[in-house]
Amino acid sequence: MDASNTGFVLICAAFVLFMTPGLAFFYGGLGRRKNVANNIMASFAIIGLATVMWMAIGFSLSFGADHVGLIGGFDYAFLEGVGQDPGPYASTIPFLAFAMFQMMFAIITPALITGAVAGRMRFGALALFVVLWTLVVYYPIAHMVWGSGGWLAEIGSIDFAGGNVVHISSGVSALMLCIALGRRVEYGQANYRVHNIPLVATGTALLLFGWLGFNSGSALAADGLAAHAFTASIISAAAAECTWMLMDIRTDGKPTLVGACTGVVIGLVAITPGCGFVPLWAAAIIGALASPVCFLCVSKLKPRFGYDDALDAFGCHGVGGIFGGLCTGIFASKAVNPAIRWDGLAFGETGLFVAQIISILATIGLAVVGTFICIRIVRLFGSLRVSEHDERVGLDVTQHGERAYPSFNGLDD
């Protein structure tokens, strides 16, 4: 047991929890004025739902005894046997500290999905979907990637802090869910302006702050690897911010604050799977290229296919996570982290890159099938969408009976 490692992991866990309110503000600012409370409430409600589920069965299904490489068991249900002594996943911190750190990932991951369905999904249906999705998609993929005996870990794929587990799973599921919901009633007609840019910037600041704990804390020790993950993360975020601002200038003639914030988030998404595996120079390359890739998806792919990913959850997290996972297979190096089985493609070995492709495809497959199942079940209990009237009035009033700006008398919504 090491007191400094324990303190570090617990502080990082608090940082990661802080990301979910940050995401709430980020999504709240990006959405429409009449839906801001609903957008924020979606993330805050998931803090409660995901925490209770994690305590009851989530940690056990994710990190319990392996079953055919796909899911854990119920040996840690209600955190039975998860106490103050070290566990099988980290020898210098309490097993309970590890469980709490991992719980924060289980909270923010389904919250990421909510950006794709902003402004049109019934709150009750969203809550039920989150419960089902966490059971069907998140716990299995967490076990396969990070759990002892997990299939994707056994084939040699790597994911330092959640490229597959967090971003690809949520991003692909967000795409599936927004397609199932259909487009907003005014899509293609109304001008969906960002209603509160300072709120977007505040959310980005909280995400950046928490993300450094998200990535460096995944080292599970206050050591050099944690420092490397921390540094790689901020380098990638900075590079992605710069390239997004350049794209803003090229397309609109001016850099925008929303664009800079988006670039920061994309850079963090892309470096998440490889921050503890790739050299620092590679982190700059990953961040610099991630913004153009996601920018093209948001500006070209989405209009081309016509899906209404309201706040670009798929375009940023799904595409950014896939790109980052592939780049990890290219740039990962044993010189950075000797725990990996192979060096990346850039260093002359192909095994890791192949394993990364398999893991990404498996994650996409599970997210697609699992989300489809969850949607079908939720529809047994009622509609996914609010009525057209409620959508036009706004979800703040119709779903929660409150207004984020009760004294506002302006004309925009």
* Interval 87-104: pLDDT, tens: 999 999 999 999 999 999
* Interval 325-359: pLDDT, tens: 999 999 999 999 999 999 999 999 999 999 999 99
- Provide the β-strand partners of residue 67: 71
Closest CA to 400 of 392, 408, 390: 390
Q: How far apart are CA 328 and CA 300, in angstroms?
A: 25
234 Cβ partners below 8 Å, 6+ apart?
212
Closest CA to 20 of 59, 38, 46: 46
CB atoms < 10 A from the CB of 258, how many? Answer: 16
Task: Tell me which of 3.40.50.1970, 1.10.3430.10, 1.10.1740.10, 3.20.20.70 is the CATH number of domain 3-400.
Answer: 1.10.3430.10
* Interval 184-239: pLDDT, tens: 998 877 777 899 999 999 999 999 999 999 999 999 999 999 999 999 999 999 99
Question: What's residue 410's pLDDT?
Answer: 53
Give this prediction's pTM: 0.96
Q: Do residues 283 and 275 make contact, with C-beta atoms less than 8 angstroms apart?
A: yes
- Supply φ then ψ for residue 405, to 5 degrees: -130, 75
In the chain, pLDDT over 70 holds for what percent of residues? 98
Question: What's residue 408's pLDDT?
Answer: 60
